[in-house]
Structure 1
Amino acid sequence: MPSITRRRTANVGRPTSAEADILAATQRLLIDGGNFTELGVQQISTEAGVARSTFYNHFRDKIDLLMRLATELMSSSFDVTSAWKPSDGVEHLEDAFLQVVKVYRKHAAVRRALAEVATYDATVRDFWSAELNQFTNWTLTLLRAEQDAGRTPADLDPASATRVIVMGGERALVDHVTTGDPGSDAAFAREMALTWWYGVYRRPAGYSK
């Protein structure tokens, strides 16, 4: 197996044209069923229509490439999720989750590659944990603010509730986009929203705001 364990923090920002071509080509190969570990830099470069040297001008290695792809997935998800606030109500939360499901469907092949590589690469595991932390920190802050305002009961343990909905929610999303019918996306998003709203935020039955 070729080594893909050289390290560098993933780049952020607007990609150059060649960089965008490489990212898009890798995603196409993954969508077509490619195993990330077995994809070679030459194969990716050929699919992108660039020289192998061009790949290394933009990415140190395949780990760097994978983390860039994963950053797009998580940034899009976080932008949607963090735009919601409890005063928006459960219906807007349902809409937010539906948008997140769409993001996960678009990047399902990348999420599969992350799971694959994380089994043997500590850098990818640490990177993914850090990416999820932004959701953890945001949710924890929100729940504590709701408690302070008296809208969520004082007996809620924010740390435990956050772990349940962030870690459990992400796994549920992966399972749904992997095995679920796209026609059930709206129903799935609604159930996630109701679980958060009435379970974690502890809103009374029938309360929507």
Structure 2
Amino acid sequence: MPTVTGGAGARRRKRQAEMEQLLLAAMGRLMGEGQTFTELSVDRLASEAGMSRATFYLYFEDKSHLLRSLIAQVFAEIVETSRTWWDEFEHHDLADFHTSMSGLIATYRKHQSLVTAVVEVATYDPEVDQAYRGLMESIQDTTQGFIERGKTEGSVSESLPAKETAAALTWMAERTVHQMARVTSSDHDDRLARALAHIYWNTLYARPDDTR
């Protein structure tokens, strides 16, 4: 039979998840008005989210804690959108890369204010920076595994350094999407997805006599 403590813990986690979604939406609205995350006070965020300052501190130590909680959720979503080519590596299909990049860009668009806040705060908050880099490194590690599998089965050149290539591709995609999403409308997203897909595909699979 479940314990009272266990039931209370589950209810608290559910309530915290609800608070996170309210605060994420509030953050998006306020940053959409031109405010930076650093400029936003806990009082302003809580008020916009329809909760009291006391309620905020019931679930989060501070704004940094809130950011770390939210970015973990968003990166889980980003990872999920990338599984088309991570999980279908044997097909070597350019269309799979395009689908994944389209999903990646759409996820960034959806959470643009959060990603902007994390990039901003990571420059001065070591905990946010560590959390952000840790999540990026997990994507990099998965990409490295993808490349190593391709080398084993012969579709990826044996001379391609897996770790360094994974790092370059991961950070290239993250920086490019973040910067482009800030200055272009969604009308440009398909062109960007196609560009990134070709870069990934040609990096991993193209041979001197076989480029697309």
Instruction: Give the corresponding residue for 1:138.
Output: 142
Instruction: Give the corresponding residue for 1:24.
Output: 25
Q: Distance in 2 between matches of 1:71 and 1:16?
A: 12
Instruction: Give the corresponding residue for 1:62.
Output: 63
Relative distance call for 1:130 and 1:16 in structure 2 (3 A) is closer
Instruction: Give the corresponding residue for 1:200.
Output: 204
Q: Distance in 2 between matches of 1:143 and 1:112?
A: 29
Relative distance call for 1:133 and 1:62 in structure 2 (3 A) is same
Q: 1:161: Cα distance to partner?
A: 0.9
> What TM-score do the two structures reach when normalised by structure 1?
0.86
Whether the aligned pair in 2 keeps the contact of 1:118 and 1:125 (CA below 8 Å) is yes
Q: Percent identity?
A: 26
Q: 1:78: Cα distance to partner?
A: 0.7
Q: Gaps spanning 5+ residues in structure 1: where?
A: 1-11
Structure 1 counterpart of 2:48, which letter? Answer: E
Relative distance call for 1:14 and 1:45 in structure 2 (3 A) is closer
Q: How many residues align?
A: 197
Relative distance call for 1:75 and 1:14 in structure 2 (3 A) is farther
Q: Gaps spanning 5+ residues in structure 2: where?
A: 1-12
Instruction: Give the corresponding residue for 2:73.
Output: 72
Instruction: Give the corresponding residue for 1:126.
Output: 130
> What TM-score do the two structures reach when normalised by structure 2?
0.85
Instruction: Give the corresponding residue for 2:97.
Output: 93
Write out per-residue CA displacement over residues 15-43 of structure 1, whole angstroms, 9 at most, x where no aligned residue: 44344322322232222222111211111
Structure 1 counterpart of 2:154, which letter? Answer: G
Relative distance call for 1:71 and 1:32 in structure 2 (3 A) is farther
Larger helix share, 1 or 2 = 2
Whether the aligned pair in 2 keeps the contact of 1:93 and 1:193 (CA below 8 Å) is yes
Q: Moved runs in structure 1, 4+ residues, more than 6 A?
A: none
Q: Distance in 2 between matches of 1:201 and 1:123?
A: 37
Q: 1:69: Cα distance to partner?
A: 2.4
Structure 1 counterpart of 2:89, which letter? Answer: P
Q: 1:127: Cα distance to partner?
A: 0.7
Q: 1:162 and 2:166 equivalent?
A: yes
Q: 1:13: Cα distance to partner?
A: 7.4
Q: Distance in 2 between matches of 1:142 and 1:14?
A: 37
Structure 2 counterpart of 1:87, which letter? Answer: E
Whether the aligned pair in 2 keeps the contact of 1:22 and 1:48 (CA below 8 Å) is yes
- Aligned 1:29-68 pairs, distance under 5 A: 29-68=30-69
Q: Distance in 2 between matches of 1:197 and 1:14?
A: 43
